[in-house]
Structure 1
Amino acid sequence: MLPEKAANAVIMLGNLIKMILSALAEKIAEGGQDALLAEHANLNAR
């Protein structure tokens, strides 16, 4: 019984970590895109 609960907890923790990393990666991608657009605007303004 206990090993089964432990296994489920590990799986849930793994899924939580994946969700956090996925959200973080998405934020980084969005931020990177914003930075690229800002740099592009700077180059065009010169």
Structure 2
Amino acid sequence: MASYIIGKLNLNEELLKKDLVTIANFPVIPEEYDEFSSGYWMNNSL
């Protein structure tokens, strides 16, 4: 099955930068499962 673009989101770059800085500064909390099945498990609740 071929894929194709069905739409486009217009994002406010300044607001996006602010949100990305906020997310980058989330505290790093040890997870219950350091390794989950295959790969690292990270839970960031919003």
For Structure 1 versus Structure 2, the TM-score category normalised by the shorter chain is 0.3 to 0.5
More helix as a share of residues: 1
TM-score by length of 2: 0.35
TM-score by length of 1: 0.35
Q: Which structure ranks higher in relative contact order (CA pairs < 8 Å, sequence separation ≥ 6)?
A: 2
